[in-house]
């Protein structure tokens, strides 16, 4: 029982990060129909920029804020310089553009920073907390709380603010959005900035647990993409469910079978779900995405 609880706690921690990355995929997908494979690089930037800014003498909270802003700026640049210019190109071309951007960002990080693993201190120390015999790092709780807060804030943003609704409207029907006076280019830029900031926040929160390096973006992009597909691409609730589920499957497989198989089992579960429900767990039928 304790064992199970232990696996669940680590599964939820990792799952919360996957959910944040999946949410980033979802926001950009909704705004532009682009599956942004550079999403993982925002996670990398969050960790790396924070570390180097902190090492240069900035207090940690400021360093983290700087990293999130920097990632948002990179997200905006990605949209303005690459995605927006390729508007109307086939979806495959747009995906290749984002893969190219991710390679570029990884190479850039290797040059600007270095190839080492880095860590900065956790928010509330590294003394494990005991929960019913199982343990969790305080930073794990921060990760979970951070993800919960982001989802809650975004829920409010999309359901209660005019700008949030304008993003939804743009996703729902771009021409109609322009006809009511929405600057859809701005909404796309905003979506990229938001996604990048969320990815970077995930990186900031996770680094004290998993460390960071220039090349960890790919793994997060794949996991986040898998989580988004599992939950239903384009649905925020699906990103949350898909992320948590993926984290749990991995942790349980690693715990009860072997960590060697955790990716394989996760992959099989995802294939099985998508085979039965091609839209993902929470996906809308493609017919009502006009």
Partner 1 sequence: MLSVENLRSRYGRIEVLHGVDIEVRSGEIITVVGANGAGKTTLLRCISGVQPISGGGIVFRGETLQTVPAHRRVALGLSQSPEGRQIFTNLSVEENLRLGAYLFADERVETDMAEAFALFPILREKRNLAAGGLSGGQQQMLAIARALMARPACLLLDEPSMGLAPILVAQILDVVKDLKKRGLTVLLVEQNAYAALQVADRGYVMETGRITMSGPAEQLIADERIRTAYLGV
- Closest to partner 1 by CB, 168 vs 274, is 168
Dihedral over Cα of 19, 215, 10, 259: its sign: positive
Residues 6+ apart with CB under 8 A from 198: 20, 23, 24, 27, 42, 150
CA distance 200 to 193: 10
List the beta strands (DSSP E) in 67-151.
129-131, 134-136
- Output the smallest distance, CB 182 to partner 1, in A: 6
Helix (H) or strand (E) holding 192: helix 184-210
Considering the complex, what minimum distance in angstroms separates the CB of residue 188 from partner 1?
13
Least distance CB 165 / partner 1 (angstroms) = 6
DSSP-derived letter for residue 118 is B
Query: Taking the complex as a whole, how short is the minimal distance between the CB of residue 16 and partner 1, in angstroms?
Result: 27
Quote the least distance from Cβ 289 to partner 1, whole Å. 8
Judged by beta carbon, residue 179 or residue 260, the one nearer partner 1 is 179
Start-to-end CA span in the chain (Å) = 48
What residues line the site for partner 1 (CB under 8 A)?
A: 162, 165-166, 168-169, 172-173, 175-184, 288, 290
Nearest alpha-carbon partner for 249 in 3, 2, 12: 12
Specify the residue, 1 or 162, whose C-beta has the smaller distance to partner 1. Answer: 162
Q: Residue 172 Cβ, how far from partner 1 at the closest point, in Å?
A: 5
Q: Decide whether 184 or 253 has the Cβ nearer to partner 1.
A: 184
Comparing CB distances to partner 1, the nearer of 46 and 283 is 283
Please tell me the distance from the alpha carbon of residue 238 to that of residue 229, in angstroms, as a whole number.
8
Q: Which is nearer to partner 1, 1 or 179 (CB)?
A: 179
The closest alpha carbon to 24, from 170, 177, 215, 233, belongs to: 233
**Residue 32 beta carbon to partner 1: minimum distance, rounded to whole angstroms:** 16
Measured from the CB atom, is 262 or 284 closer to partner 1? 284
- Nearest by Cα to 134 from 40, 225, 255: 255
* Contact call for residues 239 and 228 (beta carbons, < 8 A): yes
């Amino acid at each position: 029982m304790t064992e199970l609880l232990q696996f669940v706690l680590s599964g939820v921690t990792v799952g919360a990060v996957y959910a944040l990355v999946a949410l980033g995929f979802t926001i950009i997908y909704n705004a532009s129909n682009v599956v942004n494979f550079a999403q993982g690089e925002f996670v990398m930037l969050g960790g790396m920029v924070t570390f180097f800014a902190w090492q240069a003498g900035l207090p940690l909270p400021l360093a983290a804020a700087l990293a999130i802003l920097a990632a948002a700026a990179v997200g905006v640049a990605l949209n303005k310089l690459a995605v927006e210019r390729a508007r109307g190109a086939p979806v495959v071309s747009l995906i290749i553009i984002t893969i190219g951007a991710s390679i570029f960002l990884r190479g850039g990080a290797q040059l600007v920073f270095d190839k080492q693993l880095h860590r900065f201190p956790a928010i509330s120390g590294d003394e494990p907390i005991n929960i019913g015999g199982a343990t969790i790092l305080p930073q794990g709780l921060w990760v979970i709380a951070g993800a919960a807060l982001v989802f809650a804030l975004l829920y409010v943003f999309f359901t209660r603010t005019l700008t949030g609704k304008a993003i939804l409207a743009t996703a729902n029907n771009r021409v109609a959005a322009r006809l009511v006076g929405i600057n859809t280019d701005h909404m796309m830029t905003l979506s990229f900035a938001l996604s990048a900031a969320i990815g970077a926040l995930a990186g900031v929160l996770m680094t004290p647990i998993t460390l960071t390096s220039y090349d960890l973006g790919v793994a997060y992009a794949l996991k986040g993409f898998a989580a988004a597909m599992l939950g239903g691409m384009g649905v925020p609730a699906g990103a949350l469910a898909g992320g948590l589920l993926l984290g749990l499957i991995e942790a349980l497989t690693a715990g009860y079978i072997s960590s060697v198989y955790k990716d394989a089992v996760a992959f099989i579960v995802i294939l099985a779900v998508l085979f039965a429900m091609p839209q993902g767990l929470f996906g809308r039928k493609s017919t009502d995405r006009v």
